[in-house]
Amino acid sequence: MNERKCAGCGQLKNKDELIKVTRQKQPGSVVINHSSKIFGRSVYLCYNISCIEASFKKNRLQRALKASIPDDLKGKLLNEL
């Protein structure tokens, strides 16, 4: 089973149903990882606005990735919907 927990709502879902956000190992930048080919520390989010909003409001992405989150990442995540 490839289940992962959403950083926004905490529900367990199949990882194919979630958006993967990864902090890359070398440059240390935070990116949306569509192909899962980027290695580094990752966090998952449901494909809905409330989970994305909650993860930013409560700094869950920043804590999970142990990195500062770029300002434009929220807009990119909302565009994924």
Residues 6+ apart with CB under 8 A from 43: 7, 20, 21, 22, 55, 60, 61, 64, 65
pLDDT given for residue 25 in this prediction: 87
Domain at 3-68: CATH code: 3.30.1230.10
Segment 13-59, tens digit of pLDDT: 999 999 999 999 888 899 999 998 999 999 999 999 999 999 999 99
Angle between helices 49-57 and 73-80 (to 10 degrees): 160
Residue 27: Cβ-neighbour burial (10 angstroms; 0-12, 13-18, 19+): exposed
Q: Are 39 and 25 in contact (CB under 8 A)?
A: yes
- pTM metric for this prediction: 0.92
